[in-house]
Amino acid sequence: MPTILDGKKLSQTILDELSAEVYALKSQGIQPGLAVILVGDDPASKVYVGSKQKTCEKIGILSKSSILPAATSQAELLSVVQQYNDDPQIHGILCQLPLPHHLDENEVINAIAPQKDVDCFHPDNVGRVLIGAPRFLPCTPHGVVQLIKRTGIETTGKHAVIVGRSDIVGKPLAAMMLQKDSGSNMGCNSTVTICHSATRNLEEVCAQADILVAAIGKPEFIKAHMVKEGAVVIDVGINRIDADNSKGYRLVGDVAYDEVAPKSSAITPVPGGVGPMTIAMLMYNTVKSAKLAHA
């Protein structure tokens, strides 16, 4: 049986550590603060925002939010971002994506002060990750690396195959896993291959992986024949598929869990794997930002 990489349990451990840090900072008159901006009424985005706010409350982080109508203009949204840039109580700004189609996401991301960009989407912070000198680490890739490192999985010299080249997961995770393991939060010292829609012989490449990361948003795309015996399998995907239950759907990852798990040495469940880690690392970045602001 594989080791189940329990992100829910590990994220709670990290949040407990952060809660102690927040308590210590408060004793110095410093309270980390996170601002969340939500435009529109997308149900999934509302759930994510609510979860982040609840987590802030649990560990003592100040939480502010701006819930804006879907018809909000670019200028109005940028004005809200600037207000939080100028707010000394706020150390992290998160603008929930995706935005309504009439809004320019890149302009909004670029408008967030790099020192408060706890999502690590700003080009300044992305570049720092690439050269191995990060201010922050992107939340989902950082969550993946923490799951691997804190479980004691060997990464040095291992072949990591990442399926998906998104700016949010695939690309930054590849940069992090390439870095030398110098005892930092990011370096894995792995050999990395990124696969995408134009990759030839995708199944064969996946089957060479010591560590296989699926982040493409396709339900149960990774099948057993694509996984090497004893591989570590990290499933970043979360997808709704029809099901004969009271909800009418169930959540699955990008990996066909039931058939892949028996071949793997370690695997993340969906839900309860990478998802909780993403929120924990957002809190980590917010606390780090507060410490940097008062260094």
CA dist., res. 55 & res. 280, Å (int):
8
| Catalytic one of 96, 115, 146, 179 | 96
Q: Which two tokens stand for residue 199?
A: 């990759």
Which residues, in sequence order, are CB contacts of 69 under 8 Å at separation 6+? 39, 40
| Residue spans of alpha helices (H) in the chain | 7-26, 43-59, 74-85, 105-111, 123-130, 139-150, 170-178, 202-206, 257-260, 274-293
| Catalytic one of 52, 158, 171, 288 | 52
CA dist., res. 246 & res. 131, Å (int):
49
| Catalytic one of 117, 119, 210, 254 | 119
Q: Is 83 a catalytic residue?
A: no
In contact, 253 and 216? CB cutoff 8 Å = no
CA dist., res. 203 & res. 50, Å (int):
38
C-alpha pair distances (Å), 257 with each of 17, 140, 155, 222, 277: 31, 20, 22, 9, 19
- CA 47 to chain centroid: 16
184: DSSP letter = S
Q: Is 117 a catalytic residue?
A: no
Q: Is 171 a catalytic residue?
A: no
Residues labelled catalytic: 52, 96, 119
